Amino acid sequence: MSETDRCGLYEVVPAGFDLLNASPAELDRYGIPQKPDVVTEPELFQFWTELVSAPFSAKQPTFADIDPPSTGGALQSMLNWSGALISTPWPQQIVFAAAGWNVPDVRRPSVSALGTHADDPKSLLWVGLDGRNGVLPNVSLPQIGTGHWPDRKPKHFAWWDWWHNSQPDEATGKSATAPEPQAITLIDNLAIETGHKVLAGLAVQVSGDILYFIKNQSTGEFRSFLAPPPPGEIEPLGSSVQWVMERPTDPKSRDLFPLPDYDPVNFRYCVARAADGAIGSGRMMTLEDNALMIEMRETFADPERTVIVSRPELRQETPNGPIGVSCTFQDPAV
């Protein structure tokens, strides 16, 4: 049984239903994250208010395998990630993460990178939990976002995954629970176009399951679902949260794809909730809390050199307002 087959679907929000004043039980019924506190979590509250406000039209998501397969998740941050992360000190755990961005246009880069899977550039934008130390046993990374591939039709799509690195078998050194990397999964009934405004996030439930949610704010279309942890043992979630531009890998060969030339991406609503007690309690975290910036590099020939191809930069969204992160493509030919 695939992860998708194990997902739980929620009741569809009735047309015209007032989510702004819905009860906690009603929000749970419809797969809507709980309302943050306007006083102690003002930036989360602003995100949530936009998420549930008009335009808003919900459907149960439908899923499909992506062809050809590609996998998200951790490999080596400097090679396949660009963006920012924040971590929280033990015993706190991040139990809610939010993000917003506009869908960038993407193009083939001017120069092909060495050592990549093919001349087939691909990029993924996402918000996720953990995965920073992806080489460690039992680390996992639930993530949700949008994909942007210049040579795919349509070139933009919504997707999700719960990547995990399983504990290897002591005798063989191979993973007993995940012998092959898991390809990302399309949310194939949520249309995404260049310039559309996207809101997305994850909420850890008391059960250990995760509420995944994503909205195309430009069209009002909303999708949410509940996913259980992947099979096998995983470490407890919530040591970090990331906002990332990624170039994915091929699940079979583990080769990276080239990064497309992309329009600048401004991650907004880079906010999370860290809890040290019951799920849902705790404090709001932002990029003002020990943010770590991640640059992506690629290697090119003629002459052979390694250069930064995607550079992050913290950004003040408004005067005295929240902090976001911008990712910008760096043309390797320049």
Q: Using one digit for the tens of pLDDT, what is the confidence trace for 294-312?
A: 999 998 887 788 999 999 9
On whether residue 263 sits in a domain, the answer given is yes
- Rounded-to-integer distance, Cα 266 and Cα 325, Å: 6
Domain housing 141:
4-329
List the beta strands (DSSP E) in 130-239: 140-148, 156-164, 185-187, 197-204, 210-216, 221-227
CATH of the domain at 18: 2.60.120.700
What is the rounded distance in angstroms from the CA atom of residue 144 to the CA atom of residue 99?
10
Residue 309 lies in a domain: yes
Kindly report, residue by residue over 194-212, the tens digit of the pLDDT. 999 999 999 999 999 999 9
pTM for this predicted structure = 0.93
SS3 68: coil
Q: Which residues pair with 266 in a beta bridge?
A: 326
**178 band by pLDDT with thresholds 50, 70 and 90:** very low
Residue 109: inside a domain, yes or no? yes
CA distance 294 to 86: 11
Is 334 a domain residue?
no
- Work out how many domains the chain is built from and give that number: 1
Give a yes or no: residue 305 inside a domain: yes
User: Among 334, 329, 324, which residue's Cα sits nearest to residue 127?
Assistant: 324
Mean pLDDT within 238-261: 91
Residue 158 lies in a domain: yes
What pLDDT is stored for residue 67 in this prediction?
84
Range with the poorest average pLDDT among 2-16, 18-32, 40-54, 93-107: 2-16
